[in-house]
A and B are shown apart, each in its own frame.
Chain A
Amino acid sequence: MEKKIGIVNRQAPHGRSDAREALDLTLALSAYNESLSVFFIGDGVYQLLKKHQASRILQKDFQPMLKMFELYDIEQVYICANSLAQRNISVEQLVIKTELLSTEEIKQYLAEQDQLMSF
């Protein structure tokens, strides 16, 4: 059976390249694995916050690539409700549709994965 792979995004979108390169990795892996789950936790939730102006800090705006999740059939996209609340961000401010999970649910979903990659 195909392995369940969880990709965990915990870093702010810019400042380090982790977010951008984790996204590259996610899109590439989706061509080989249909059981991907993507998690946005902690400062990782900022990756989905609308209106980045990445070019102003000499970075590539990767948010349009997030919209390719749907095209690539990456459907299990989860975001930590607690992380959003702590940062006063509402789901309406996010660039893509995600499923809100409580901390307990996230623990459970992560435990169900065969492999985790964390960025």
Chain B
Amino acid sequence: MSDSQDIKFSLLVTGNPASDQSASTALQFCEAALSAGHHISGVFFYLDGVLTASHLISPASDEVNLPDRWAALATQYNFPLEVCVSASLRRGIVNETEAMQLDLQHYNLKAPFVLSGLGQLAELSASCDRLIQF
């Protein structure tokens, strides 16, 4: 495939990783797009999609661990996993900085997921050829 046919995708993931198929489909889409030679500008997690960023997700050993799979893929292909901070705090997804500011005893944001604002979604929307929502 020539460079001119490469597409830059940004993803908006709003599905709950434990109960919505869309969260798994998003990962499969990413894997398929990358293996076809396309680019992922970044993934923005919003609504229940932010739960994907929890370090505490522990499915049974014969089930897929979506956060692990996202983290591995994003590290391998070097694209950002942005997680909306206000949607996250509402759902108990917290990083070290927020935990300190909010005086919480624990934090659970998994690396390389990062908490960011909706401005990052605007950026991902502006910088891609196609925005796909899951």
Contact = CB atoms under 8 A, between A and B. Distances in A.
Interface of A: 2-3, 5, 17-18, 21, 24-25, 28-29, 31-33, 115-119
A15 to B, nearest CB: 14
Main SS class of interface, B: helix
B60 interface: no
A119 B14 contact: yes
A7 to B, nearest CB: 11
B121 A21 contact: no
Interface of B: 12, 14, 46-47, 86-87, 117-119, 121-123, 125-126, 130-131, 133
A28 B119 contact: yes
Nearest to A33: B122
B47 to A, nearest CB: 6
B133 to A, nearest CB: 6
A32 B47 contact: no
A38 to B, nearest CB: 15
Contacts of B131: 115, 117
Which has the most chain B C-beta neighbours within 10 Å: A5, A31, A32, A119? A32
